[in-house]
Chains A and B, each alone.
Chain A
Amino acid sequence: MTVATAAPVLPLARDTVERLSAARQEPGFLRDARLAALARYEATAWPSGEEEEWRRFPLRDVPKVDLERIIDTAHPPSEYTSVPLDAARHGLVFDRMIDVARTHPELVRRWLPSGEGIGSHDAFRALSDALFAHGSGFLYVPAGLHVELPLEVHKRWRAGTDPIVFRTIVVAEANASVTLVEELSAEPGGPRLAVPSLEIHAGPGAQVRYVGIHRFPEDVWEIGQQRVLSARDSQLASFNILVGSARTKLGVESDIRGDGAEVKLYGLVAAGDGQRIDVNSFQRLDGKASTSDLLYLSALYEAAKAVYYGVIRVEPTSSGTGSYQECRNMLLSDKASADPVPVLEILTNDVARCGHGATAGALDEEEMFYVMSRGIERLDAEQLLVRGFFQRVVERIPEPQVRARVLAALAPRIGRIAELDTAAA
């Protein structure tokens, strides 16, 4: 049974990995790391479709892209990075992975291993470790450095069918603070696979904010994984704005190891047509008095479907932790659908709070009536209500320019009213 439903694994040749490394003129340790990841990829089965995380994702239909084509260097992604002027002087490193590997090999060597994560994502983690290419970036914030302005990067791929595989590594040392905004897009043209991987390491007392805006065109399948690790007393907030791709699979994992850490995982999904946005999350809590809260909001138009499967696991060795999972789905068409599955696994009674909530439903007719009775057209009223629905997440982003970017990404789907930035007031 398992064999029949298993997806065809995309083959990856050793030659491809070696040629990619050579073409990028990488140092030997990077090449060795890639080959080690290749061995992992070969030894790891793709999800069979029986795993809870993959049960609702049509992995069998994944575009049969030729992984070898990643060597095609004719289509480098455009990157626009704005680095604060003299931050580098204080030890800030923010650049393409390949450049950092040459200028700061010791940093890349230390933080490159992706470690363990959600088990059923192993194959894709190994794939991105072996094949990460253009678009890969490295951000390092030394201890105690506060980066005031958000760092922004826009990765835009040219049209093509070559796979998009990249890694983003963010390291914030003790008591550092930083905000990273990453926007991902591509020109349309041909079926395509994108495998983005993100790792964030928040050191003791560090504050990290990550905003990922995923707006690949409709012919892209995105299979991504994100892992955030929290040391004691760190504060970490991640925002995923998911508006693009035919199919999106995103595994989000938060691992709290230290005491007093705070994690916020936010997500906004705005999807239409036949899009399917499938998010799975794993929030692991250990240590004393740490908190982990997840809030995902979806607005679903036309025949879009949002799938959410998430687990909170409170370890038996933890004490006084607090956690919450919330997944709300607004169904805006009679063909839209949602499967929210929030799961709790609590192995101790020493919890301060733990719970979850999930809803799915249409626009509230009473609210519509109220708004329309003020003379607003039905379509505008709907846009206004969706915009209001998203506000709970939008207002958590403090910088107005980042909020504007998020709202602009949402606008094509939820309407121009999206761009009203009420939080600015």
Chain B
Amino acid sequence: MATDVRKDIPDNYKYGWYDADAKYVNVKKRGLTADVVREISQTYKKEPQWMLERRLKALRHFEKRAMPTWGADLSGIDFEEIYYYLKASDKNVQSWEDTPDYIKRTFDKLGIPEAEQKYLAGVGAQYDSEVVYHNIRKDLEAKGVIFTDTDTALREHEEIFRKYFGTIIPANDNKLAALNTAVWSGGSFVWVPPGVDVEIPLQAYFRINSESAGQFERTLIIAEEGSKVHYVEGCTAPVFSTATLHSAVVEIIVKQGARVRYTTIQNWSHNVYNLVTKRATVEADGVMEWIDCNLGSAVTMKYPSVYLVGERAHGEVLSVAFAADGQHQDAGAKMVHAAPHTTSLITSKSISKGSGRTSYRGLVKIYPGMKKSKSTVRCDALILDQTARSDTYPYMEIDEEDVSIGHEATVSKVGEEQLFYLMSRGLTEAEATAMVVNGFIEPIVKTLPMDYAIEMNRLITLQMQGAIG
């Protein structure tokens, strides 16, 4: 097995390996032009004309739009140095046995097979830019649930795909959404028929496995009236020495009375720029929950949004951010109340360590006439070192009187007394700190499926040991 970890990356980065024998079927080409977009759409994907036109239009938006001037420092991104499309294997296989060995090895290290044995409903695992492994449990198929990679969805379910694609996040929303729309590849597509309750979480793993490989997955989830689904996305990436860009777009449509939970555990290696646009619209009586855990990457800018467009719709974001040395986690949430009697809740827990910086950046917007709307924002930050930094930027725009909106934030450090107490029980300082940190994020971790909760606690412990030991 080929394992190569660069020297400047901490040894404790657990998933810092890549498969040297991974084969790429197309010739790698850096940079982005209309020809690259045409090649992706027509040569490789053989997409319908309308999709090519969408991509080309999005490319023009991308070229016109300026980079965001707020938030994190993005000056390290060189769009000319990025590969916009890579394909590790040219066919999509249905069974695990047919999956190429080197890809299996990658997933072995991530523990996918065990997870599958336990309760996986289906696995859409994205290896570089194309989904190579897909498996849907028979009973889900019987219920009429569509869970596939986004490219297949475009081929096999074009009508429903075209109806919703780009309706929640249009190409001109922001520069990075435009980029994604131009070069998107892979991602998951979920359609849940009316009234269907998908009892087990749907899962997909995303990884970046090539130097300067851009990853532009596109996820579209439609929960029809009264349906229920939980989608889990876990990300780990091997370590490379030049900056890598991950710029996904996730669109979710929660119809009347439906309920969607979207859980992310993000652990990109420390050279990845993770710039993601995630947004959901929720119709009357629907519920949308984002659970967003950001541990890795050099820079993350991610603000899952919920547009509450139907009465009594409810939106929730639970966010955990951990910034170690050199990392900047600029994460948050956005709640837009565009119907009366809507409610939202944002809970953010952030931890900064060494020279790490966490920023909570959020918006609560209440339009005029959205009576009896309620929103609560709660941000807690834990700063572990004198050199660490924590910021809170909670924006609020309240244009309606008959509402109740609150925001609260606290910042603290790990108490000497807590450490002393734990260490007097025989723990090392690193173990004691990890325990305090795990306790701090407990309210959010307990909402994760058990496997993920365990992984999350393990990741935190690893991060802490990296600091002290």
Contacts and interface: CB of A to CB of B under 8 A. Distances in A.
B400 interface: yes
B4 interface: no
A341 B400 contact: no
Interface stretch (A80-88, A276-284, A345-353): A345-353
Interface string A324-356: 000001011111111111111111111101111
Contacts, number: 114
B398 A345 contact: no
Per DSSP, chain A at the interface is strand
Interface in A279-318: 316
A336 B401 contact: yes
B410 A355 contact: yes
Nearest to A308: B396
A345 B391 contact: yes
Contacts of A23: none
Interface stretch (A11-19, A125-133, A359-367): A359-367
Nearest to A309: B395
A76 interface: no
Given A337-B398, A348-B383, A342 B390 contact: no
A147 interface: no
B398 A351 contact: no
A368 to B, nearest CB: 13
B95 interface: no
What is the size category of the interface that chain A forms with chain B?
20 to 34
B383 A359 contact: no
B404 interface: yes
B396 A350 contact: no
Contact of A341 (B390, B395, B401): B395
Nearest to A359: B406
A358 interface: yes
Interface residues of B, number: 34
Contacts of B108: none
Q: Determine which residue in B392, B401, B405, B407 has the highest number of CB atoms from chain A within 10 A of its CB, and name it.
A: B401
B402 A346 contact: no
A344 B391 contact: yes
A190 interface: no
A360 B411 contact: no
A388 interface: no
Contact of A344 (B368, B397, B409): B409
A4 to B, nearest CB: 14
Contact of B413 (A316, A338, A339, A351): A351
B393 interface: yes
A357 interface: yes
Contact of A332 (B381, B398, B401): B401
B398 A338 contact: yes
B389 interface: yes
A331 B396 contact: no
A345 B409 CA distance: 12
A349 B395 contact: no
Contacts of A357: 406-409
B385 interface: yes
B387 interface: yes
Contacts of B401: 331-337, 362
Contacts of B392: 342-344, 356
Given A356-B408, A357-B408, 13 more contacts: A334-B368, A334-B401, A339-B398, A342-B407, A343-B392, A346-B411, A348-B388, A349-B383, A349-B384, A351-B413, A354-B411, A360-B398, A361-B404
Interface of A: 316, 329, 331-351, 353-362
